[in-house]
Amino acid sequence: MTPSFDAVVCGAGPAGAYLAHLLSKKGIQTLLMDKARFPRYKPCGGGLTRRAIDLLPFDLSGIVEDWTVKARIGLRSCAPLAIEVPEPMIGMVMRDRFDHFLVEKAREAGALFWEGCAVGSIERTMDGFRLETGCGVVTARCVAGADGVMSRVRRCLGLSPNTAVPALEAEVHPRRGTDLDRFRMTVDFDFWAVPRGYGWVFPKADHLSIGVFSTDRKVPGMRRYLHAYLARKGISHGYEVRSIQGHLIPTGPPGTAGVVPSGAFLLGDAAGLCDPITGEGIYHALRQAEGVSCAMERHLAGDAAASSLYEDAVRREFSREIRPARRLAFLLYRMPWVSDRLLEAMGERIMGYHLDVIAGRATYRQVFRKALLPGTLLRVLPGFGGSRPDGMMPG
């Protein structure tokens, strides 16, 4: 007999595992499946922002390896900024442990977990979906694609592949006698460590996760930029680079998230919406898991509008968060002569606004409005009343 479920969730990253937890808590019979066996490594900074942590109803103290209260921010053309806050702003996790923890939470809530089991194809049926997987055929009344940026589910549902930008991450361990004290409780972000992007150093319990991210899809030589960044941060003798792995971060296109047949949902990287400035994706994955769990519950209860309500929620989120963040990212990475002047004039204030976003106290829409008040532009930008530094031409 073909196993049959209320919901099948494909992919057990933060989006899928948390969705399976929420569905099971509601008493919905859920199968969670992942092509990998867990715990599995995932190239990721593992920076859980305050707003992501606040979404999770779990004690993360055994999982978070360092709580950061300081940020050192390197800028392109002006002095670096240093910020210190009283409350931790980012909790550092390793994704193998964090994702496994969420999968265990899903299982504790009653979800069935099939690991080492890839979804191959999905067909619409009269009363739901039929999935061919590495572990055989299953049927479900609802299906969720949480299978990451290269989502197979997304393709099976007839959507175009995600557009995505590259990121590269190294796990760097200290050799005997080297300590990590100078990196403890601190995040380093260095803008333009790579063209149209930034480099980061995130401290973990016994090592550092160091990476580079570019918003330029075709930037050549990411590995070269990563090595240059390691050297710039003084990571050479005394450290051992144990792995370097690349992965993609989705950046849209807008308006495709959730636009799938009734009863099918995309979330997390599969839906394509990460923070266009920083590449942060875990917060959006968890938030979408909440939205999909409510929509699936309504769909299973016979509400024909459930899918479109989820689409509306995604669109609202898009216009509140992603669209204004894209505009800011455009300014930061594509118009550096403008963003340099803004950061010179009000860098600390802008970083303060960004802290409000990652703490969940403000949206990017609010930041966009505050950072780009017409008065600010008048004061700061050449041609609008500000003075242009010698030799610097807009272009």
Ligand X SMILES: Cc1cc2nc3c(=O)[nH]c(=O)nc-3n(C[C@H](O)[C@H](O)[C@H](O)COP(=O)(O)OP(=O)(O)OC[C@H]3O[C@@H](n4cnc5c(N)ncnc54)[C@H](O)[C@@H]3O)c2cc1C
Q: Which residues bind ligand X (CB under 6 A)?
A: 10-16, 33-36, 42-47, 118-119, 146-148, 152, 167, 169, 211, 247, 249, 268-270, 274, 279-283, 285
Q: In the numeric block, which tokens belong to residue 87?
A: 């409350």
Give the other-Cβ count within 10 Å of 11's Cβ: 30
CA 388/CA 394 separation, integer angstroms = 9
Q: In the numeric block, which tokens belong to residue 330?
A: 């455009």
Bridge partners of 143? 8, 264
Q: In the numeric block, which tokens belong to residue 40?
A: 């599995």
> Least distance to ligand X from the beta carbon of 191, Å?
16
Of 269 and 321, which CB lies nearer to ligand X in the complex structure?
A: 269
Of 36 and 112, which CB lies nearer to ligand X in the complex structure?
A: 36
Of 264 and 380, which CB lies nearer to ligand X in the complex structure?
A: 264
Of 42 and 141, which CB lies nearer to ligand X in the complex structure?
A: 42
For ligand X, which residue has the nearest CB?
281
Q: In the numeric block, which tokens belong to residue 25?
A: 């808590």
> Least distance to ligand X from the beta carbon of 384, Å?
35
DSSP run (H or E) holding 339:
helix 336-358
> Least distance to ligand X from the beta carbon of 280, Å?
4
CA 273/CA 43 separation, integer angstroms = 18
> Least distance to ligand X from the beta carbon of 379, Å?
34
Of 18 and 353, which CB lies nearer to ligand X in the complex structure?
A: 18
Of 96 and 344, which CB lies nearer to ligand X in the complex structure?
A: 96
205 in Cβ contact with 91 (< 8 Å): no
Residue 3 neighbours by CB under 8 Å, 6+ apart: 31, 136, 138, 139
> Least distance to ligand X from the beta carbon of 394, Å?
32
> Least distance to ligand X from the beta carbon of 271, Å?
8
Of 280 and 340, which CB lies nearer to ligand X in the complex structure?
A: 280
> Least distance to ligand X from the beta carbon of 339, Å?
22
Residue 223 neighbours by CB under 8 Å, 6+ apart: 168, 244
Residue 358's SS3 state is: helix
Residue 97 neighbours by CB under 8 Å, 6+ apart: 39, 63
Q: In the numeric block, which tokens belong to residue 210?
A: 């160091």
Q: In the numeric block, which tokens belong to residue 11?
A: 């992919």
Of 14 and 199, which CB lies nearer to ligand X in the complex structure?
A: 14
> Least distance to ligand X from the beta carbon of 58, Å?
16
| Alpha-carbon dihedral 300, 35, 60, 188, rounded to 10 degrees | -120
> Least distance to ligand X from the beta carbon of 54, Å?
13
Of 199 and 324, which CB lies nearer to ligand X in the complex structure?
A: 199
Nearest to 56 by CA among 101, 86, 88: 101
DSSP secondary structure letters along 45-102: --EEEHHHHHH--S--TTT--EEE-EEEEE-SSS--EEEE-SS--EEE--HHHHHHHH
> Least distance to ligand X from the beta carbon of 167, Å?
4
Of 268 and 276, which CB lies nearer to ligand X in the complex structure?
A: 268
CA 271/CA 64 separation, integer angstroms = 26
